[in-house]
Amino acid sequence: MHSPLRNQQPEHRSRPMMTTSTVSEIEEVIIPDEDDSDTTTTTTLLNASNGEQMRRRVSGKSLVDGGNRRISRQQSFGREIGHAAAETYLITRLSFKLLRYLGVGYRWMTRLFALACYAMLLMPGFLQVAYIYFFSSQVRRSIVYGDQPRNRLDLYLPSNNDGMKPVVVFVTGGAWIIGYKAWGSLLGMQLAERDIIVACLDYRNFPQGTISDMVTDTSQGISFVCNNISAFGGDPNRIYLMGQSAGAHIAACALLEQATKESKGESISWRVSQIKAYFGLSGGYNLYNLVDHFHNRGLYRSIFLSIMEGEESFEKFSPEVRLKDPVVGKAASLMPPIILFHGSSDNSIPCDASKTFTDALQAVGAKAELVLYSGKTHTDLFLQDPLRGGKDELFDDIVSVIHAEDNDALTKDSLAPPRKRLVPDLLLKLAREVSPF
């Protein structure tokens, strides 16, 4: 088993500032007691200007009888169905908008067909995850973090509330085109089982937005989590940032941009010191090295240039290249420990992308480590392995870093039962063969 950065000494983390660009938010949660007629109401007041938090707990007899309680549950179920339909409509509408933009091409059509076959083979697992996503009380969907379209996040909460929990802010992948917050649901559910809160960010994808919009949205989502997660039981001094594929690139851009602003003394709503570590999974960090590779795999140069706002913006949105700038290189010293995970058989984004970024980070004095998984593909680490259940090397490595300073949590991890298999092994093997990624 790998042991990335497990022996690092913890650094002091100051309590984060509250976001000053938003008004106070009030959240009310009704928790029905199945064995009693009492209802408990918890109201949390987040004051965005001074960071004060008030909690009020009120207990009393329920104002509804059993019949009304059943009606309430039926109405709640109806709302969940309506939410699922709305989410499906959003994805479908954006997909057709994208197809109109891309036009009909051989590579796109073959990859679209491969994607459909891939999804069908993994459908037994996807349906189980989707049921939990839409109907579990531990999943808080579509929390607004900004005023732009798709400025929403999903929270995955542990079942117990004994103490403040570590937090992972996760930025999903999707080739900057089909990213969506629900893509992180499997990771969120599994980390929540280990007493880790996960916030999966949504952000504007192309053609709804371009790379600068994606980085702005992501930074704003990180700010929201840093400044408000304590209201959900999260520890603001134990926040980890993670991105997968395109999400790893976007998150790295946001982190480096924030470090640069901080080093220049610019006004900021969150600090890189609030992030305990950054996990980059199967990401690409140098656009100059990726444009031809993506073109040959069906993400045509013209589309890629449109996403990245032209070749003249490649340097700005290539973290590896930006580190060569003395100002940015100096700012990199402010960044938290960085661990890059990659499969050695990744054809979507070759593992050399993580290798060269690790070298560039180490060259400017940043704490960076590369963990390679032999024979793993782009989707093995993020989908097939978690759906297979049992032992998962990447998952264990991530959890071990997050719990490195918590002996009780490490003990619980060692006693945790094997994770449930969600998809038969035969279907997983077939999906691996037809995967378009």
Q: Residues 185, 219, 245, 435: which is the catalytic one?
A: 245
Q: Residues 154, 213, 217, 346: which is the catalytic one?
A: 346
Residue 403: active-site member: no
Taking the mean position of all CA atoms in its chain, how far away is CA 88?
20
Structure tokens at 405: 């300073």
Return d(Cα 119, Cα 368) in angstroms, integer.
34
Q: 426: Cβ–Cβ under 8 A, 6 or more apart, which residues?
A: none
Residue 3: active-site member: no
Closest alpha carbon to 156 in 126, 199, 194, 125: 199
Residues linked to residue 199 through DSSP beta bridges, in sequence order: 155, 169
Residue 374: active-site member: no
Start-end of H helices in 237-375:
246-264, 287-296, 301-307, 319-322, 326-331, 352-363
Angle at CA of residue 70, ends 66 and 75, nearest 5°: 145
7-34: burial string, b at 16+ Cβ within 10 Å, e else:
eeeeeebeebbbbeebeebeeeeeeeee
CB–CB of 51/21 below 8 Å? Answer: no
Collapsing DSSP to helix, strand or coil, 39 comes out as strand
Q: Residues 249, 342, 378, 403: which is the catalytic one?
A: 378
- Other residues' Cβ atoms within 10 Å of the Cβ of residue 233: 17
Catalytic residues: 245, 346, 378
